[in-house]
Each structure stands twice: as structure tokens, then as C-alpha cells.
Amino acid sequence: MSAVRSASLPYQTAQPNRRQCLAWALALGLAGSGVAQANPAAPMNPRKGPAAWPERLQLDYEVSARVGAIPVRASGQLQWLLQGDLYEASLTMRLPLVGARTQRSRGRLLPMGVQPLAFSDQTRRLRRFELDWAAQRYRYQRDNEAAQDGPLQAGTQDRLSLFFELARRLRLQPPVADALWTVPVLGTSGVQPWTLRLRAQEPTETPAGLLPAWRLERHNTQPEDTRMSLWLAEATHFLPVRILLQEPDGDWADQRLRQLPQA
């Protein structure tokens, strides 16, 4: 079986300042993974049936943010490629005059869920994660610094594969308002649990039009946590049509779908 190959990542031509870096962190600083659900989705073949994934998918976004008193506008793009049971996904944000930040996730799409094998986050620096499911360990490295490792939990997702695991669950089971999911999250501080609540379906304004979407919120455990809300729509295979991140200091980023994908 051939592996999915990554295209080379673009490097910035200029170094972003602190506020631009914070805007990047707001727009791409998501984490998550799937461990337990109030009503776990039954295993299904991800290549067949109503929950079958497309082989290719691209979603384009408009991003607005405020960092301090400075408004920021950017563009974003979410891509998905599936070959056999191997997937590769990327999420890129482009800031004018600064360059791009790209997150990539690579792994398997299994009947029991999304299983990431590698994750990278590239700006001026490159952060890499490798997930060894046989050993139940992960390895983290920033640039050429000494690598760190730690234990994995069953079902762990990276910061990007979370989107696709949540979408997989919603495609397998009819959404239920107030369903509560607990997920372990792999980040630079190791694996940490997140709690997510599926609120309700509501009309969501986007540049692509008014779309019915399910609002999913992160329940914070610490006052300094980022508040995260996702709007997940059937029209995009339950991938986000809107992502809203809010920081305790008032900074925020709002990412909305530019246009619906072609059928």
C-alpha cells in the first residue's frame, strides 16, 4: 500500500511579530482527540455506506481576528486526501506580507476511528509529533532540539485530526443536543483531556451563505483556557463551517467558510 506523500511546506519571507504570532495561535491553536462519548459510534467501514469519506476535499475560509487593538484579516484552507485507509490533512493560514502557517496530520482512517501517526506545525519553527501506537508512546521535537516522549491514551488525536474524528462521529450517528464528549488531546504539554458539548443546530452565517450547523463548544477547566466553538455542517461532511476562538484577555479569531465544496 502506498503512503500519502506531503508536499513541501512554504516558508515565510519575513518573520512575524508577537501580535501576528498570537493571531496565528488563535486561528490554528486547536487541540483534541477522541476517547469517550456518551453514546459511542459503532464501527463502520469508512470507505463504504452513508459515512464514507471523500477521497479529496478542500474547504476555503475567510479569517478575521483582533489581537489587542489590531484587527487582522487572513485566509485559511483545510485539505483532506484519502488513499486506501491512509489519510493526509492540512490546515493552512496565510497572513498578508507575513507568510503561511501550516499544520499537517497523517495517519489511518480505521473502522473504530481516526488514528493519527504524525503531526507537524510549521511557522518560523517546526514542531513535530510522531505517534507509536504499538508502543503507546509519542515523540515530540521542536526544530533540532532534543526530542521528548510520553505515553499515549487510546483514541488520542492531534490538533488537526480532531476535526475529522468529530465529523466521523456525527456522520455515523444522528447528532443529539447536549451530548457530552471527553477527549484526550496531544499537544506540547503532553496528552490532556478536553470536554466538548454538542449544543444545538442553528443557522450559521458564512460567506458561503446561511448554513444549518451544529454548535460544539469546549468546556473550560481553567480560567486561562481558550474558549472554542465549532459549527459543524452536513453540507461539509460535518467539518467546520465556522471556528471561533476567544482568549481570556479579549483577543479572538473567527474563521468562516468562503464557499461550499463542489459536489
CA dihedral 168, 245, 231, 49 (to 10 degrees): -10
Buried b (16+ CB within 10 A) or exposed e, 196-229: bebeebeebebebeebebbbbebeeeeeeebebb
d(Cα 260, Cα 232) in Å, to the nearest integer? 13
The predicted-structure confidence for 176-204, as pLDDT tens digits, reads as follows 999 998 888 898 889 988 889 999 999 99
Q: Looking at the domain assignment, is residue 26 inside a domain?
A: yes
DSSP of 4-28 = PPPPPPPPPSS---HHHHHHHHHHH
Evaluate if residue 26 carries a pLDDT over 80.
Answer: no
Cβ atoms 99, 106 nearer than 8 A: no
d(Cα 201, Cα 4) in Å, to the nearest integer? 35
Which of 178, 159, 154, 179 has the alpha carbon at shortest distance from 169? Answer: 179
Write down the pLDDT at residue 24: 52
Note the Cα 255 to chain centre separation in Å.
12
Q: Looking at the domain assignment, is residue 13 inside a domain?
A: no
Q: Looking at the domain assignment, is residue 145 inside a domain?
A: yes
Looking at residue 258, the DSSP 8-state letter turns out to be: S
The predicted-structure confidence for 146-169, as pLDDT tens digits, reads as follows 999 999 999 999 989 999 999 998
Of residues 24 and 72, more confidence is placed in 72
Q: Give the cell for residue 173.
A: 450517528
Write down the pLDDT at residue 42: 44
Buried b (16+ CB within 10 A) or exposed e, 34-45: bbebeebbeebe
Buried b (16+ CB within 10 A) or exposed e, 231-254: bbbbebbbbbbbbbbebeeebbbb
Q: Looking at the domain assignment, is residue 6 inside a domain?
A: no
Cβ-based neighbours of 237, under 8 Å, separated by 6 or more: 53, 54, 57, 167, 171
How many domains is the chain built from?
1
Of residues 258 and 262, more confidence is placed in 258
Amino acid (1-letter code) at residue 172? L
Q: Looking at the domain assignment, is residue 247 inside a domain?
A: yes
Note the Cα 218 to chain centre separation in Å.
13
Q: In CATH, what number is assigned to the domain containing residue 120?
A: 2.40.360
Q: Looking at the domain assignment, is residue 3 inside a domain?
A: no
- Give the range of the structural domain holding residue 126, as residue numbers without chain letter: 18-257
Q: Looking at the domain assignment, is residue 8 inside a domain?
A: no
Give the confidence band of 129 by pLDDT, cuts at 50, 70, 90: very high
Among 42-51, 122-131, 136-145, where is mean pLDDT lowest? 42-51
d(Cα 248, Cα 252) in Å, to the nearest integer? 9
Write down the pLDDT at residue 16: 46
- Answering whether pTM is above 0.75, one says yes
Looking at residue 168, the DSSP 8-state letter turns out to be: H
Mean pLDDT (whole number) for 111-117? 93
Give the confidence band of 231 by pLDDT, cuts at 50, 70, 90: very high
Q: Looking at the domain assignment, is residue 211 inside a domain?
A: yes
